[in-house]
Structure 1
């Protein structure tokens, strides 16, 4: 699946190119546009495209400078310069910045599709040349997980250096290196989760890494942080995130607390927290909160001075009928019937 960015200050050119690219037979993940070079650069930093179509004369940042910056940032991005006949000589200055193809305005369907086919073939060849075996990634992940789990810092240092030297020797482009490092990160956390080790801040952000050195440094720091966090946790100096979440829920049973709110409170991504909570508790966030509310409702129902309507509000149900229905589903009887079983008159 290819990601494509189109930069041109003329709206009609942008729309036309977008439509022509869309009509190609290539598998396309996304087509984004930018009205000038500065916006295009920002788009690239947000998500690196596979192919960049850029005009030469644009405000704020022209195409020539954009090509230069892209070449410095990630030479793996294939650039197509779209220029008018009068700008062709000027456009040729981009040759030193790794421009792959030129398109003369006005562009047509046949020319665009031909260029896309050539870019795709080059991309396919490039991917083969920079292939990293899955078995190698799995082996590295196994050793990393073992070193982190056993707190073997020297062994981890040795592995990280081995990985760095081998990946550097493979001459991976920045976007390819980022993909490999993110895969290794995911494999490491999968193995730690299998041991029921749920570490904080499990997200690794490499999208803003300016070069290979920075991407590697961020990855290495993250792995070392995992070991340090585990060491601190074993000394009892770090709260378990799920236990901290449960305590927060307990203190706010009377409120309609959302999963997102609790995740934000303990500093975790909501999606990861949801997965982590279920793995640790064997029930979802909502199931756990409902169960704790019903258990508290039972305790209050066992105290004669509490009115049933007040209890529903005390455990977070503004709608009394909803509370009654939920309690019956959980306890097998209505709140009033539960009280009768306890020998208490409602």
Structure 2
């Protein structure tokens, strides 16, 4: 129900307003009444209503002063003014403070009902507009967090982090990764979780700490805690308090994996990798199913050989499916001795591969949801099969994308020839301009267009020469130079080869 306050210095008017219309039917309830503006203002400050219906002439503080004071502090409040004919000038003046309507005394039931319904419609429209704006802003914030977590630190996303998330180079950040044991974890429960988290932040008096949620897949999400501070604020005891508060409110459904405290927005990706590692390796802590990343243990533990990791990422980038299969199987030869560490290392590797795919235009939100939709298998055999399937998927996607890009490059080569046919054109020069291998471009060009690159250049030049022969009085030698031939004899020979006649005969028709 929307709340309405009525203010009038005549008790009979208050009683009349109370019963003149069916307030509940209109979606309102009268929560307070006042006989003067001063009492009305005090009631507003205690509990601001959606709508105030007020007389203009009242003792102590008149209706106009009441409207101005309330509008200054609570600009979303709506007003309906009650006025006698003599007060019409005051009613007009009140309009600049957002008065929705004014009604003349004695009141008419139909007019009051129409005015109240109009206010209700305005309030609903404004709430819908604000909800839409919040939704758009939340989506933009979520995308920004997702991009930064995946290591995309281009200026666009760093700037958005500053403006939307208030994250800066000096921000202190922890990434907290959640795993939910409840397979029926709903969207409403997820929203409730983040509300509880914000409450926990407020209860600890940390009003400067910002909370930014993110989602990685079904029943797996997390949030960023960030604060601008010279001192370390996001301490383990404080995080333990947050977790305890959330569990008290939401139950024992969640596992928490928490990164170390990092500095700066560009460190978000590292914080995310640390949280993934903590979740997989389950480092011990003071609370059950709460795992803090422990850098010292990680440094002393085996990791993926750099040459193996680099080779695998390159094979995926080249779309080499056979090499990806071989390298993935080789990878598990180095990790099979430790199931937990295999999972931890491969979680980080998956993130690096997704970052590479993002550079090629992959939809990171879609890929991350699928690749991190459920926990990695702990059994090494199952883990190997799962990762092999995902890495092959990435290689096949890259191969398709490279094929599509080559098609685009052939079209780009054609466009370049049409713009520069008057000058010296060589395949090597065009390939360098398009940043591709010349031999590969030549092969692809012939396969797609059915003729060699040089023959295509001659075709474009002769086509332009035919236009000049028919439309101008230029000499044949001039036309030859105009379309890119320094030797008129070569021009004549190529013209005849492609048209069946020499240039002079073509010009005569």
Task: Choose between structure 1 and 2 for higher RCO, CA contacts under 8 A separated by at least 6 residues.
Answer: 1
Instruction: Compare the two structures and name the one with the higher strand fraction.
Output: 2
Q: Which TM-score band (shorter chain)? A: 0.3 to 0.5
Higher Rg:
2
